[in-house]
């Protein structure tokens, strides 16, 4: 890793808890969806843990930073979550709590009624649910991943959690 890149990496890691989603991705609060997407792409090029396979200590740090950046992307590309974050940020928060992310989710079903998915993402979400019900974890993971590529939503976070839970159960 170059010295400049190493210094930038160390600075972000040290300040991680103090950086809000916009600062982490290097964005103004007025950034449109496409700008958020491009900023996250640049962020991922630097912090994706796979870039540090030969540096285990850095890989662990990169994973922590990358997870926070992914969280930032998920929040800033979702209109409802972004509005919640902007309100919380006005009160001094640097990120959303789990409760704030999943507010509006039905605890029993995990459905997030207030946040509709775009049609293409909803179709993939539905396929993932059917695959999960059939016990096809690989199919469920694939369709969930494809749905996430088309949209960001707490509904998909709930689906990911259900898939992870199902993967833990013995077959």
Alpha carbons 1 and 57: distance in angstroms, whole number: 13
Q: What is the pLDDT of residues 69-95, one digit of tens each?
A: 999 998 998 888 899 899 999 999 998
Alpha carbons 102 and 139: distance in angstroms, whole number: 25
* Residue 106 predicted with pLDDT over 70: no
* Residue 112 predicted with pLDDT over 70: no
167: pLDDT confidence band, cut at 50, 70 and 90?
A: confident
3-state secondary structure of 105: strand
Alpha carbons 25 and 69: distance in angstroms, whole number: 7
3-state secondary structure of 55: coil
| Whole-Å CA distances, 63 to 13, 52, 79, 110, 165 | 10, 9, 26, 27, 21
Q: What is the pLDDT of residue 110?
A: 47
Average pLDDT, the chain: 85
* Residue 28 neighbours by CB under 8 Å, 6+ apart: 22
**For residues 86-106, average pLDDT:** 80
Query: Residue 53 carries which DSSP code?
Result: T
Q: What is the pLDDT of residue 41?
A: 95
3-state secondary structure of 151: coil
Q: What is the pLDDT of residue 168?
A: 85
* Residue 107 predicted with pLDDT over 50: no
Beta bridge partners of 105: 112
* Residue 1 predicted with pLDDT over 60: no
Query: Residue 115 carries which DSSP code?
Result: S
104: pLDDT confidence band, cut at 50, 70 and 90?
A: low
* Residue 151 predicted with pLDDT over 60: yes
Q: What is the pLDDT of residue 87?
A: 92
Domains recognised in the chain with CATH numbers: 3-100 (1.10.287.110), 105-168 (no CATH)
Q: What is the pLDDT of residue 108?
A: 45
**For residues 56-71, average pLDDT:** 89
Q: What pTM value is reported for the model?
A: 0.61
**For residues 4-17, average pLDDT:** 82
Residue 158 CB coordination number (10 Å): 17
């Amino acid at each position: 890793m170059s010295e400049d890149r190493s210094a930038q990496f160390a600075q972000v890691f040290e300040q991680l808890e103090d950086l809000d989603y916009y600062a982490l991705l290097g964005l103004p609060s007025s950034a449109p969806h496409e700008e958020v997407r491009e900023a996250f792409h640049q962020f991922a090029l630097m912090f994706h843990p796979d870039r540090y396979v030969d540096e285990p200590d850095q890989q662990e740090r990169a994973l922590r930073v990358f997870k926070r950046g992914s969280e930032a992307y998920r929040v800033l590309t979702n209109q409802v979550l972004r509005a919640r974050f902007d309100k919380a940020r006005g009160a001094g928060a640097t990120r959303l709590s789990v409760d704030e992310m999943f507010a509006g989710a039905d605890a029993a079903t995990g459905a997030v009624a207030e946040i509709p998915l775009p049609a293409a993402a909803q179709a993939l979400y539905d396929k993932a649910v059917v695959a999960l019900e059939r016990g096809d974890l690989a199919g469920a993971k694939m369709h969930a991943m494809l749905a996430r590529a088309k949209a960001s939503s707490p509904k998909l976070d709930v689906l990911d959690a259900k898939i992870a839970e199902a993967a833990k159960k013995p077959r």
